[in-house]
Structure formats: structure tokens, C-alpha cells
Amino acid sequence: MDFASSAVEFQEVVQAHFSNTPHRNLNLSFWLSNIRLVILCTFSFSILNIMLCTW
């Protein structure tokens, strides 16, 4: 539940950023830095789930 709501919040932040920023390169760098963060969060979240399930 919390993970889903944080994903929605992230999407809103991204949309706000895109509507406020006219520069293409800045959007791209923003995306690249945040995709890494999202992958890291998803990865650690799934590892945590696996650890809790196999505990």
C-alpha cells in the first residue's frame, strides 16, 4: 500500500517537473538519475519481501 502510494507521488513529481522544465537535456538527466533511484528502491523492496517471506 505504502509502496504504491509513493509510486503515485513520484509520478506526480515527475509530471510537475516535466511541465515546469522546457529544457530537454535537463529532463533526460532528471530521468536517468531517478530511474536509478527507482530501480534501487524496487530492488531493495523485493529483497526485503523475499527475506520476510523466507524468514
Can you give the pLDDT at residue 19?
A: 64
8 touches 50 (CB < 8 A): no
pLDDT at position 39 is 84
Which domain does 45 fall in, by range? 2-54
Count of domains for the chain: 1
| Whether the predicted model's global pTM rises above the 0.85 cut | no
- For the stretch 7-50, pLDDT in tens is 777 777 777 766 665 555 566 677 777 788 888 878 888 888 88
d(CA 13, CA 11): 5
- 40 vs 36: CA distance, rounded Å: 6
